[in-house]
Amino acid sequence: MTIEISERRRREVVSALRGGTVPQSGLDVLAVGLDRFESAIDEELASAASGGAVFKAVRGEYGAGKTFFSRWLVERARKVGFASSEVQISETETPLHKLETVYRRITENLATSEFPPSAFREVIDGWFYSLEQDVLASGTIDEADTVGLAAAVDALLERRLLVVSQTAPAFATALRGYRAAVLAGDVAQADGLLGWLGGQPHVAASVRRAAGVRGDLDHFGAFGFLQGLIAVLRDSGYAGLVVVLDEVETLQRVRGDVRDKALNALRQFIDEVHSGRFPGLYLVITGTPAFFDGTQGVQRLAPLAQRLAVDFTTDPRFDNARAVQVRLPGFTHESLCELGGRVRDLYAVGASPRVPVLVDDAYIETLSTAVAGRLGGKVGVAPRIFLKKLVADVLDRVDQHEAFEPRRDYALTVTDVELGDVERQAAAGVDDVDLDVT
């Protein structure tokens, strides 16, 4: 297999796998079994880019690749001009029933193809620059007329945010205040207002008062601010915004009344997407089948269950990739070996010529079998540990040590400290598995 990838991206991918995490980029070269989703995802991204809005639920067991899938989707979206934000739902850090916190995390994790998180300031500043260029291009204002230019930009801002101002007038007010502070060189005021626009709590009252805004962003104002952010992005030339809410299944572990509030907030969010309030938004949530099908998850709120209902009783080969909810089939022994081969070929670029010779397909199959055996034979939960062992324990050693031969010198060991909860459960009661490659 020929790997076409920049050296920087190659190092980033290998480094992430070495640490047992999902890479942030370069996922196209590792995408095994995702070709079935490509056409549908591209169609949906095109719909959002043309002013529509899309909601997608992704279900899969632990190890099925939900985080990988969402980052693969994000990377695909960035290539066609979308900004993105990945938010991990948690009871303490980002509770779903507090949409103002979700919005804040969206701005904190906002990224574009040009800027890493948080790209919020760059997006806002870039938008004002675009407004200035549009005003100057009209030929009605001289660039030297700073007062006239500022007034014309404010007027254009109001026209561009007219729809948003009807539901979240404070968003436009704060944007004007931020621009005025920047022009005046008032760094503290500008930083405070940028934080307030990003949903940060406890912004100084003097900052808010000077800009003509009051209070902190609340649950009900979050949608208006998100609407404003998307409007700014699209007016800046971005196709739209992809938001990933990862690990929503954590809602099952919270107190009953909090869970009900969170499920209702999710239902409300989906309805707002379908209502057309967020042109350019592609919203993704990920969760386990237990969350979507169990009584402590989606099924607890009938209206939400109705919106996410999809028939998964048929053969997975015939799943509808365009459905509101899609399932990831998880890894088989064959697909895990294919993934291992791709990682080996990626690593081999610029590495010792011994790598593809000593870590051949037969060895990768042996290693994948041994890792799955250590996890109770459950291939579906093996990918993370398998790839970490392949890179850190085998490929790195082959590349660094001329005398190292994995078939002779390496015996697989997996300790509890390396495992997550689900991996640990899979490994429970299983004796250590020696890597017998003789």
Task: List C-alpha distances in Å: 317 to 34, 219, 327, 328.
Answer: 12, 41, 11, 11
Of 213, 219, 147, nearest to 177 (Cα)? 213
Q: Residue 242 and residue 74: Cα distance in Å, rounded? A: 7
Amino acid 96 reads L
Of 274, 276, 312, nearest to 293 (Cα)? 312
Residue 138: strand pairing partners? none
Name the more confident of 351 and 429: 351
Q: Residue 62 and residue 70: Cα distance in Å, rounded? A: 14
Question: How confident is the model at residue 375, as a pLDDT?
Answer: 76
Q: Residue 236 and residue 363: Cα distance in Å, rounded? A: 50
Question: How confident is the model at residue 112, as a pLDDT?
Answer: 96
Q: Residue 426 and residue 408: Cα distance in Å, rounded? A: 28
Q: Residue range 75-81: average pLDDT?
A: 96
Locus of tokens 């079935």: 36
Locus of tokens 């099925």: 64
Task: List C-alpha distances in Å: 124 to 177, 260, 308.
Answer: 12, 35, 34
Which of helix, strand or coil describes residue 240?
A: strand
Q: Exposure pattern of 350-372 as b/e (b: 16+ CB <10 Å)?
A: ebbeebbebbeeebbbbbbbbbb
Strand order across the beta sheet in which 240-246 lies: 82-88, 240-246, 281-287, 54-59, 325-327
Q: Residue range 129-135: average pLDDT?
A: 90
Name the more confident of 325 and 24: 325
CB-based contact 140:266 (threshold 8 Å): no
Find the length of the chain: 438
Question: How confident is the model at residue 433, as a pLDDT?
Answer: 44
What stretches of 154-298 adopt beta strand conformation (E)? 240-246, 281-287
Asked if the model's pLDDT at residue 339 lies above 80, the reply is yes
Locus of tokens 């996410």: 308
Which of helix, strand or coil describes residue 25?
A: coil
pLDDT tens-digit readout, 288-299: 999 999 999 999
Question: How confident is the model at residue 330, as a pLDDT?
Answer: 79
Question: How confident is the model at residue 438, as a pLDDT?
Answer: 43
pLDDT tens-digit readout, 196-250: 999 999 899 999 999 999 888 988 899 999 999 999 999 999 999 999 999 899 9
Confidence of residue 2 (pLDDT cuts 50, 70, 90): low
Helix (H) and strand (E) counts in the chain? 21, 5
DSSP 90: B
Q: Residue range 100-109: average pLDDT?
A: 97
Confidence of residue 429 (pLDDT cuts 50, 70, 90): low
Q: Residue 56 and residue 309: Cα distance in Å, rounded? A: 12
Q: Residue 283 and residue 268: Cα distance in Å, rounded? A: 13
Task: Report yes or no on whether pTM surpasses 0.85.
Answer: yes
Helical segments of 89-186, H only: 99-108, 120-137, 146-160, 162-167, 169-184
Name the more confident of 75 and 165: 75
Provide the CATH topology of domain 33-112+238-327.
Rossmann fold (3.40.50)
Which of helix, strand or coil describes residue 102?
A: helix
Of 231, 213, 334, nearest to 278 (Cα)? 231
Of 262, 264, 236, nearest to 249 (Cα)? 262
pLDDT tens-digit readout, 140-181: 888 888 888 888 988 888 888 887 788 788 998 999 899 999
Asked if the model's pLDDT at residue 96 lies above 90, the reply is yes
Contacts with 147 (C-beta within 8 Å, 6 or more apart), sequence order? none
Question: Which long-range contacts link 310-314 to residues 24+ away (Cβ below 8 Å)?
Answer: none
Locus of tokens 């539901």: 167
- What are the residue boundaries of the structural domains of the chain, listed by start? 1-32+331-438, 33-112+238-327, 121-211
Locus of tokens 């070996």: 337
Percentage of the residues of the chain whose pLDDT score is greater than 90: 66
Question: How confident is the model at residue 4, as a pLDDT?
Answer: 67
Specify burial of residue 59 (Cβ count, 10 A radius: 0-12, 13-18, 19+): buried
Peptide bond into 118 cis (omega under 30): yes
Name the more confident of 415 and 53: 53
Q: Which of 52-56, 84-88, 392-396, 415-419 has the lowest mean pLDDT?
A: 415-419
Asked if the model's pLDDT at residue 391 lies above 60, the reply is yes
Q: Residue 379 and residue 286: Cα distance in Å, rounded? A: 20
Calculate the average pLDDT of the chain.
90
Question: How confident is the model at residue 64, as a pLDDT?
Answer: 83
